[in-house]
Amino acid sequence: MALPNSLNDKQKEAVLLIEGPLLIVAGAGAGKTKTITHRIAYMIEKGVRPSSILAVTFTNKAAGEMRERVLALLPPNLHGTPLVCTFHSLCVRILREFHQEASLPRAFVLWDRDDSAKSIKRALDRLDLGQWTPRSMLSAISKEKGEASNMRDYAERATMPRERAIAAVWEIYDAELRREGALDFDDLIVRALLLLRESERVRSLLQNRWQYITVDEYQDTNRTQYEIVRLLAGERKNVCVVGDTDQSIYSWRGAEMEHLLNFEHAFPGANVILLEQNYRSTRTIIAAANGVIARNTKRHAKNLFTENQTGDPIHIYAGGNEVDEAWYIAQTIQKKIKEGVRADEIAILYRENFQSRVLEEACLGFGVPYRVLGTKFYERKEVKDVLSFIRAAMNIESRADFARAASAVPRGIGKVTIDKVFENGEASLTGAAKVKIDTLRNILKHIHQACVTLPASEAVRFALETSGVESSLGQTEEGKERLENVRELVNLAVRYDDFAPPEGIERLMEDAALESDQDALTEKRAEVALMTIHASKGLEFDVVFVTGLEQGLFPSMREGTRDPEEERRLFYVAITRARKTLHLTHAKQRMKYGSREFALRSEFINDIDNRLVAAPPKRGLLDDIYLD
């Protein structure tokens, strides 16, 4: 394959390095996916078996894009293809294939975050620990699992009240997972790591299967993910990692930037290549980004540059308060759309979720179409109802799924009856209760038979009809909309029809549980995207608004904020989402906990050279009310 002229010299250098460890430090918008995909295609042209190549990243969206771009570069009728997937889906595959060695049922249930949060809530209620939220408890447990810590070790070193609460909740949560025959997101990684550590046969087999490994977003790996990569690489050490210390923003969930900084120590003799040419943003935006991130000390030193046009100056707006700020944003967007900018090329980013409310109200007021990132298709009630029938059919030990299936369509089966079934067996039931449970069991039996014999889409259609979910939704406008959602589930399942049963259904269940917020954006709609900055990583838009740039909010100064440099990296990520136009906004006053407080402009704004900034707009729309 002649390397295309569209690759720059550094990208070509990375593509040509096949053997041994390789670190690619890729700045924002520097064409890392293009480099990775061309490198994989070049390896195959040089005789590397496609099936011996493994590429891992963090989101379904990123994995899907990389997979499509790799396949587009490969010749047709190629024997085998590289495996391109997320860490979690990789571990699902490993645990399903070697379920006996991992002491797991092949059809283990995979809990999504919502399933886990509900279980944690039950544990908190049981322990009368209402002062803690399920999400905070789950986050703490998740981080410990990411560091390869187990429940018993954590309980032994827990001394503070919050730590003891976490240990107590974790014990109940872990017991419920085991009773349900389920794994959560973090268990997937932990159990796969334990399997690789303890089974020399499995480890050797997988090392021989995947002889060339690529890991994207390496700065986001936690300790368990790092260990999995190290074990799979084995003695060959044909591992290429791609990342950017300046975009490391997930330490709060266990990511360790040191894995990127210390790569050359962990893999001696590694080649290091810096990708510094940005293809995304204007010169103005890149100059601002460089000025901001240069103040950090813990990083791979690099300096982004671009051959793009200079572009618009950066717009900074100081609102009288958060309502004024939101009105400015919505009014500006309304004007942009009238000028021809597509709504789906505009994003509003914020540091904290609570900021979205006033922004949504402003968008509604100005007639700006929008959607808030985070509403996942698979989390809609009616969709989860159908999935619960399939999961209960595939795993009879799943009490939570059985209970949801029992209540999804009214059958007169209550909690007491379900408790009897799982605690004393169905033989303890008599009369009407036994008839109802027998009826439900029979439905699940038929759905199970469909799942193990039919293509995925036909199995889902069968479950939708046989479960009674379809007929229960009714003919109201809301019911019709929900019916369209569950029918869309059948359409989505078509993509898994090429897998032999029951693998197609298993893959569908995995993707449903592992869906990320960004996956919602794969459906193109003419709407402005509202999201947290964390959720925006990996995305790009023509016009970006970064909001709430005030001391204490962004950078955050709330308890638990880990690292001032990470806050600066988060700002760097935010501004490098923009291709053409960047707006930075803040409020002089903001409502907090029911009272109005004065706010100081974020120090991050001061890091931007004034020569890059447009003349300030007129006074805030509400300044006369609040500031005079």
Q: Does 186 qualify as catalytic in the annotation?
A: no
Catalytic-role residue among 33, 214, 224, 245: 33
Catalytic-role residue among 217, 345, 360, 565: 217
d(CA 120, CA 186): 15
54 SS3 class: strand
Q: Does 334 qualify as catalytic in the annotation?
A: no
Catalytic-role residue among 482, 577, 580, 590: 577
Q: Does 216 qualify as catalytic in the annotation?
A: yes
Catalytic-role residue among 37, 86, 219, 247: 247
Q: Does 577 qualify as catalytic in the annotation?
A: yes
d(CA 510, CA 88): 9
Nearest residue to 140 via CA among 560, 563, 555: 560
Nearest residue to 574 via CA among 599, 601, 539: 539
CB-based contact 575:582 (threshold 8 Å) = yes
Q: Measured on CA atoms in the order 184, 189, 190, 195, is the torsion positive or negative?
A: positive
d(CA 621, CA 628): 12
Distance of CA 37 to the CA centre of its chain: 21
Nearest residue to 210 via CA among 90, 42, 89, 99: 90
Burial of residue 125 (number of CB atoms within 10 Å: 0-12, 13-18, 19+): exposed
CB-based contact 228:87 (threshold 8 Å) = yes
Q: Where are the beta strands (DSSP E) in 302-455?
A: 315-319, 346-350, 370-372
Burial 400-411 (b: 16+ CB within 10 A, else e): bbbbbbbebbeb
d(CA 188, CA 44): 30
Catalytic-role residue among 32, 39, 391, 482: 32
Strand duo 315-319 + 83-86: pairing: unpaired
CB-based contact 314:612 (threshold 8 Å) = yes
Residue 414, both tokens: 């209550």
Q: Where are the beta strands (DSSP E) in 146-232?
A: 182-183, 212-215
Q: Does 559 qualify as catalytic in the annotation?
A: no
d(CA 599, CA 617): 19
Question: Quick one: three-class SS letters along 113-157?
Answer: HHHHHHHHHHHHHHHCCCCCCHHHHHHHHHHHHHCCCCHHHHHHH
CB-based contact 169:141 (threshold 8 Å) = yes
233 SS3 class: helix
CB-based contact 549:601 (threshold 8 Å) = yes
Nearest residue to 324 via CA among 354, 365, 373: 365
Q: Report the alpha-carbon angle 320-344-30, nearest 5.
A: 95
Catalytic-role residue among 115, 174, 186, 216: 216
Q: Does 128 qualify as catalytic in the annotation?
A: no
Active site members? 32-33, 216-217, 247, 577
